Structure 1
Amino acid sequence: MADLSTEYRIAKPEEFPAIAQMLELYQYELSDIWDQDLDSSGRYGYDLTRHREGRRSHAHVALVNGHFAGFALVAPAAVTRTDGCWMEQFFVLKKHRRTGVGSALARHVLSSHPGPWEVGQMPANLPAQAFWRRVIGQVTADQYVELQVTQGGWLGVVQQFDMG
């Protein structure tokens, strides 16, 4: 197999249409466990305004050989704490899964925002839970707390840790 050129970085302003398109794919993929309807244009839609502004929310992209391979959206923590970061959305295209792209993107994003973190997964998304436990365990030497959040704005598994 040929060597792949990979890049992980904060998204550029002109890349937000591509992120919006990948969000559509992501939301479709989760449509069996995430109760969301299409809008009148046949899209799920996702407001990226605050990520474009980049003050407290950020978008990151993964590129393989110059082509988009995934993205991550980071927002201020708000699920079980009021400081730090929350992994708002995280997606890797199917063709790049289990190749190391997702793990590398996750490590890039986590290390780009030092301090307290929360990462959550929906209860039925068992592959995401396994992925995040493995990645967070690696980057923290298993120094994280896992919670089952059963009330409030987020329902599911949440890992809390610090990226000193």
Structure 2
Amino acid sequence: MNVQLINATKDKEETLLNLFQFYIYDFSEFMEIDIEPNGRFAEYPINDYLEKENYYTYFVSFNDSYIGFCIIQYNQNEGDKQYFSVKEFFIMKRYRRMGIGKFVANKVFNMHQGCWEVFQMKSNLPAQRFWSKVIRHFTKGDFTERRR
């Protein structure tokens, strides 16, 4: 599988903003989000993610084309343990159910060793199913699930 994670740097901000339009569109199925008068969704505040010390922002590339992104937040370091969160995770619909999302999730889990948390919206059942399968497989069933 020709999938790569590529660091998203400040010079690629426009590309990330463009991909976020598709991401927000997908979320409009689960949230009340409408487009602006200019026909676009409101700009997502991605400046928090680009080249910040506690964020790892990656483009997902498949066959040399960007098809999504993954944003990981480094939360804290307590003793020997590092804590990470999947802040945002997006694979374009055309490329879902091909194993790419699972590949990317496993890759970032392995790249950033430590304790992890992954949140999904209560209404986003596809994300819940995806993450449940990925986490169960990666941890061999050794994880804690909480609902809030």
Give the corresponding residue for 1:28: 25
Q: Which amino acid aligns with 2:108?
A: V
| Paired residues, number | 142
Which stretches in structure 1 are left out of the alignment for 5+ residues?
150-164
Distance across 1 between alignment mates of 2:141 and 2:130: 14
Assess if the C-alpha contact under 8 Å between 2:6 and 2:60 holds in 1: yes
| 139-148 or 4-13, which deviates more | 4-13
Assess if the C-alpha contact under 8 Å between 1:62 and 1:68 holds in 2: yes
Assess if the C-alpha contact under 8 Å between 2:54 and 2:75 holds in 1: no
Q: Which amino acid aligns with 2:54?
A: R
Q: Which amino acid aligns with 1:62?
A: V
Measured against aligned partners, the alpha-carbon deviations of 1:63-101 in whole angstroms (never above 9, x if no partner) come to 1111001111112449xxxx6111111110111101111
Q: Which amino acid aligns with 1:6?
A: V
Assess if the C-alpha contact under 8 Å between 1:60 and 1:109 holds in 2: no
Shift of 1:26: 0.8
Identity across aligned pairs (percent)?
26
Give the corresponding residue for 1:154: none
Give the corresponding residue for 1:110: 109
CA RMSD of aligned residues (A): 2.0
Assess if the C-alpha contact under 8 Å between 1:77 and 1:118 holds in 2: no
Assess if the C-alpha contact under 8 Å between 1:9 and 1:108 holds in 2: no
Cα–Cα, structure 1 residues 39 and 133, in superposed 2: closer, same or farther, change >3 Å?
same
Give the corresponding residue for 2:144: 145
Distance across 1 between alignment mates of 2:95 and 2:67: 7
Shift of 1:14: 2.9
Task: Compute the TM-score of the two structures, normalised by the length of structure 2.
Answer: 0.84
Q: Which amino acid aligns with 2:121?
A: M
Assess if the C-alpha contact under 8 Å between 1:76 and 1:84 holds in 2: yes
Q: Which amino acid aligns with 1:112?
A: M
* 1:1-164 correspondence runs (5 A): 5-39=2-36, 41=38, 42-77=40-75, 84-149=83-148
Measured against aligned partners, the alpha-carbon deviations of 1:20-75 in whole angstroms (never above 9, x if no partner) come to 11111111111131234445653222111122123001211211111001111112
Which stretches in structure 2 are left out of the alignment for 5+ residues?
77-81
Assess if the C-alpha contact under 8 Å between 2:10 and 2:51 holds in 1: no
